[in-house]
Each structure stands twice: as structure tokens, then as C-alpha cells.
Structure 1
């Protein structure tokens, strides 16, 4: 995804700029390229700003493990799975130890949820800015062309882009998915902090009881998150039935 954004920014933007310059030079004195150049400028700005913002934010918010290659991650996963199987075959841990390990793994789960939330928010912001620029370009092109020919094609393209972007945002619901993931991550982190500080509802003298209650609450939050994801995947009528 990051490589695609870099490719679009480093290759797509210069090619678009060269195309506008070349088209203007070839049609100089024969055809008025001002409207096409204005439209191309809007597209160029949206492309550059979107790619830079996506690459920068993706690198800033992602966990360290996402910088590694897929092959390295698969190898680490296989080694960790083998080590887990061997350890499980020789050690039968008590319930308290399993609950403590569950608590110890909570920060990684919070990081994963926040990383996914950040990715969805970046997609939403990039599409939203593209939608704003395309919508702003429509009245500008309309004012430049009176009668509408030959700007009719540009207007059709802008209208189609607005429709496609609006449909994609409505179908995938990037904003809602990012909000739900962030909300779940914050709630899990709140429970983990309360457990560490031994405050309500984890202020019982028995630590095993606190860990058991913590595991129950975190699992309830994860189940609720999965239900919200299923509701977003359903059509509007299906969402009402699930609720």
C-alpha cells in the first residue's frame, strides 16, 4: 500500500504535469487548454497531498513489526507457533498464569486495534479531500465554459469521480470502522490501567479474582467489536435486524 502511494506520488504526479505541459505546448494557438490545465491542477494537488499524507501518517502510526517483510513475519510466526506447541506439551499452566499472560498480551492487542483504526481514518481523509476538490472543480469548470462544450467531458468526469468516491465511502464505511476500532482500543486500555492501579472494579484483595474479571471484560469488549463489524458489513435493512 505504501509502495503504491509512493509510486503514484513520484511517477504519477510528474507524468501528469508533463502531460499538461506537453499538451499545452502542442496545442498552443490552436486550442484553449486553460480549462484542462485547471482540472489537471486540481487532480495534481489532490494526488500529491493525498500520497504525501498517506505515506507520512502510515509510517508515523504503524507499529515496528509492520516495517518487516512478509517472509520475516511468516518465519517468526512459524517459530513462535512451534515454540508454543512445545511449551504447551510440557507445561500445563494454572488458570492464574494463563490469565496473567492474557493481561500481558493486552498492549499488543491495543496496538493492533489502533493501527487498523489509523489506516481506516487515513483512507477516509484521503477520499474526503479528493471528494472536496472534485466538488469544488465542478462549478469552476462550469463557469469557464459557456456554452458547455467542450467542457462537458470534464464535467462528466468530475461528476463520475464524485459518485464513485461517495459510493466507496458509503460501502466500506472507513470512518465508522476506524471509530469503532479506536473506541475498543481505548476501552481495553482503560481496563488495563484500572487493573494496574488496582482501582474499581479491580480493587479486590484477591489478584486472581481481578485478573478473571479483567479477562471477562476485555473479551466482552472484543465480542462487541466483532458485532459492530458485522453490522457494518450488513446492508441498511440487515443492520436494523441485527440490532
Structure 2
């Protein structure tokens, strides 16, 4: 048993670091859930009171001295019953021991935030103590690269599809404008269709010019192809990865990170207005 532990120290280190990340993620999830619970405890009674006042105000403003329509009364009644039941259930779960107990019952969000900060601090301190060597981290980085390539390709395919459908909608709408104009002369019967088609063309053209799906797809595909080229070169041991393993991994990590930074810069340029892009370039 002792030999097995000493021969696989990296496995224990990995498990410990993974557990610290799980603890941090779990605290973040608990904070989100607790915020929703507290929000429900405060908001539901307020909505219940507002629904009562709304019913009274509607009666006095619209149906003073008359009977309120049955559909309106039924809608107010259902709203009141739902909010009252929700309020009673939440208060019972929160403050009574006889009901089902939800996670972090009675715990403040501030305490959970403090626990999260402490968990993150422990993770950072233990990561410094348990972090493997640079060569091992670079080798792990290389193994994660195919996932990054697949993510880039997936986003590129998404933007290509968006651009494809935008272009086809523009084609059909433009052809529809011409067809409706030629069919109706004068165009009064088809005026509504022409307005709808013109509106659609304007929206699609503006969206395509603002979001630039074609440029985004091209940049993502280009970055994915470049990273994949370097992965293949590293696996085959061809230029520029013709040195020792440690130097090759260091060069690979540096090159790929530079590509990712350049990709983020291109995305930021696409997010800026046209004038801002010219100033950045």
C-alpha cells in the first residue's frame, strides 16, 4: 500500500486540487440558491399585499358601485391563493422544524460568502503547495488543447449558420419586395407585406453589420486550425518543435496562449463600433 501511494503522488495531488475546486463551486451554488430563497421570502409577501391593493384599487377605479366581472374576480382570486400558499410554504420551511428542510436553512448570504472566500483562500494556498512542476502543467495544457480547438470550431459553426440564415432571409425578403411590387400595381393591397419585408431586411442588415457573424466564424475557424496545426507539429516532432520535450512544451504553451490572446483581441475589435475599430487598428 505504501508503494502504491509513493509511486502515484500526482494522482493524490490532482484529487486534492479537484476537491478544492468542487468545494468552491459548491459554495457558489449554495449562495445562488440561498439568494433565491431569501428573495422569495421577501418578495412573495410583498406581491401578496400588492395583489390585494390592486384588487381594491381596480374595484374603486373601474367598477365603483358595480359588480366586478367574474373573469377579473377569478384572476385576482387565483393570484391571491397562489401568493398566499407560496408565502405560507416558504415561511413554514424556513422557520418551522416540522416541514421539509432546505439547504442552508437560516443561514445568511453573508456567512456563505465568507465561507466561499475562505474556501478560495484554502484552494490558493494548497495549490501553491501541491502544484506540479512546470513541465507537468505544460503537458496537461497540451492535453486540454483539443477541447479548446473543438470549442472554437463549435462557435465557428454556430456563427456560420447564423450568417447563412441571415443571408438567405435577405435573399428571400429582397426578392419578395420585388415580386410584391410587381404584382400589385398600385401596391395598396400589398403595402403591409412590403412594410414587413422592408422591416425584416433592415433588421437583418443591421444585425449582420453589428454582430458580424461571418467575421467571427472566420476568426474562430482560423484560430482553431492554427492551434490544431501546432498540436500536430508537437505530436510529430516537426518544426518548430524539434528540441527537447520540456522546451517543446514550453514553446507550445507560449504559442497557443498567444493565439488565444490574439483571438480575444479580434473579438473585442468586432464588438466595438466601426470608428472604434479603426482607432484600435
Short-chain TM bin: 0.5 to 0.7
Q: Using the alignment, how far apart are the partners of 1:157 and 1:92 within structure 2?
A: 60
Q: Residues 163-187 of structure 1: CA distance to partner in whole angstroms, max 9, x if unpaired?
A: 1110011111011111101110110
Equivalent residues, number: 165
Q: Aligned partners of 1:92, 1:107: CA distance in 2, in Å?
A: 23
In structure 2, C-alpha distance between the alignment counterparts of 1:176 and 1:214, rounded to whole Å: 26
How far apart are residue 240 of structure 1 and its match? Answer: 1.1
- Give CA deviations for 1:3-34 in whole Å, capped at 9, x if unaligned: xxxxxxxxxxxxxxxxxxxxxxxxxxxxxxxx
| Greater mean alpha carbon deviation, residues 78-87 or residues 106-115 | 78-87
TM-score with structure 2 length normalisation? 0.55
**Deviation digits for residues 26-70 of structure 1, max 9, x if unmatched?**
xxxxxxxxxxxxxxxxxxxxxxxxxxxxxxxxxxxxxxxxxxxxx
Distance 2:211 2:19 in 1: 35
Aligned partner of 1:81 among 21, 27, 39: 21
Match of 2:191 in 1: 152
The answer for the alignment partner of 1:193 in structure 2 is 232
Structure 1 unaligned regions, length at least 5: 1-77
| Structure 2, unaligned runs of 5 or more | 1-17, 25-122
1:168 corresponds in structure 2 to 207
Q: Any idea what the Cα deviations from partners look like across 1:147-203, whole Å, max 9, x if unmatched? A: 111112211111111111100111110111111011101100000100000000001
* SS class of match (2:131): coil
> 2:255, 2:149 → 1: CA distance?
14
> CA offsets, 1:130-161, max 9 Å, x none?
11111111111111111111112211111111
State the TM-score, normalized to the length of structure 1: 0.64
Work out which of the two has the higher radius of gyration on C-alpha atoms and give 1 or 2: 2
CA distance in 2, matches of 1:80, 1:194: 35
Mapped partners of 1:90, 1:226: distance in 2: 31
Instruction: Report the alpha carbon displacement of residue 89 of structure 1 after superposing the two structures with TM.
Output: 6.9
Residues 131, 79 of structure 1: alpha-carbon distance in 2 compared, 3 angstrom cutoff: farther
The CA RMSD over aligned residues, in Å, is 2.0
**2:267 aligned partner:** 229
Q: Corresponding residue for 2:216?
A: 177
Deviations 1:92-133 (A, max 9, x none): 301100000000100000011111111111111111111111
- Deviation of 1:83 (Å): 8.0
Q: Give me the whole-angstrom Cα distance separating, in 2, the residues matched to 1:131 and 1:235.
A: 23
CA distance in 2, matches of 1:88, 1:82: 14
Q: 4+ runs of 1 displaced by more than 6 Å?
A: none
Q: How far apart, in 1, do the equivalents of 2:239 and 2:207 lie?
A: 43
What secondary structure does 1:208 align onto? helix
Partners in 2 of 1:150 and 1:80 — Cα distance? 68
The yes-or-no answer on 1:210 pairing with 2:150 is no
Residue 127 (structure 1) aligns with: 166
